[in-house]
Amino acid sequence: MAFLAGAALAFAGGLGAGGVVLRRIGTLQTAEDEAGDAASQAAGAKSVVFVLGGPGSGKGTNCDRIVKEFGYTHLSAGDLLRQERRSGSKLGDLIEEYIREGNIVPSEITVKLLLAAMEASGGSRFLIDGFPRNQANLDAWNAQVQDCEVACVLVLECSEAVMEQRLLLRGQTSGRSDDNSSAIKKRFRTHREETLPIIAYYDQLGKTRQVDSGREIDTVYADVQAVFRDLAAPNGTVAVDVKS
């Protein structure tokens, strides 16, 4: 498609067939899901589910399970930026320059990478976690993407106390420099100030589905499953919040 062509060229060589950030596993799809996916591809239609929530809300954990069960292609904007930065491409050098100088990578570049990854995957249903995080992300997506429907926005709701506990526990083994109490509180503030307004925007459009992710993993995923089964149903609507 024309709007993807430039992005795909800019991203050439940036994604491997077995890349970590592109995962499309459909072994557990039902016949109905496969038929619906084939019909969507035949019609050239693409759809995306954004997964938003605070740091430590369980985005990665639930995305992994959604991919395995429902056959979505999972994309992470942060992973794509890091991968392109390491690739040695001209775009990667530009990303490196922004980061080296302490500047935020323009959202237009992030969206460009997402579009290229979507085109390269050959899929039609996408799961994008941690995006759009802020107004700049949202504006760039709306400006650059014309033929990909936002099917819904899965919002994982969790208290900051629980998320902080999870992140500190993860920090004991992850080696991530931002899994410390000071950095975590800063990330919470950024989420409140920048991401919650984006969730409110999609809520006004009737696109959000909230799941209480402060509970046990399997209990949370049972509610996430219900959201995606509803999406797969004919004429499914985004109308039900799943909370305990």
229 is in an annotated binding site: no
| Cβ contact 194:135 at 8 Å | yes
- Give the domain range for residue 197: 2-232
Q: For residue 175, is it within any domain? A: yes
| Cβ contact 55:167 at 8 Å | yes
Beta bridge partners of residue 128, listed in sequence order = 50, 75
Q: For residue 240, is it within any domain? A: no
Q: For residue 241, is it within any domain? A: no
Could you tell me the CATH number of the domain that includes residue 50?
3.40.50.300
Q: For residue 137, is it within any domain? A: yes
Which sign, positive or negative, has the C-alpha torsion 144, 63, 194, 91? Answer: negative
Render each residue's pLDDT in the chain as its tens digit; 244 residues.
444 434 443 443 444 333 333 333 333 445 445 444 444 444 468 999 999 999 999 999 999 999 999 999 999 998 999 999 999 999 999 999 998 888 889 999 999 999 999 999 999 999 999 999 999 999 999 999 999 999 999 999 999 999 999 999 887 876 666 668 888 999 999 999 999 999 999 999 999 999 999 999 999 999 999 999 999 987 644 444 445 4
| Cβ contact 128:50 at 8 Å | yes
Pair of tokens at residue 11? 């991203």
Please give the Cα distance from 60 to 193 (Å, whole number).
22
Q: For residue 238, is it within any domain? A: no
Q: For residue 50, is it within any domain? A: yes
56 is in an annotated binding site: yes
Residue 233 pLDDT: 84
Residue 40 pLDDT: 44
23 is in an annotated binding site: no
Residue 242 pLDDT: 47
pTM of the model: 0.77
170 is in an annotated binding site: yes
189 is in an annotated binding site: no
142 is in an annotated binding site: no
Residue 180 pLDDT: 82
Residue 23 pLDDT: 37
130 is in an annotated binding site: yes
71 is in an annotated binding site: no
| Cβ contact 110:81 at 8 Å | yes
Q: For residue 33, is it within any domain? A: yes
92 is in an annotated binding site: no
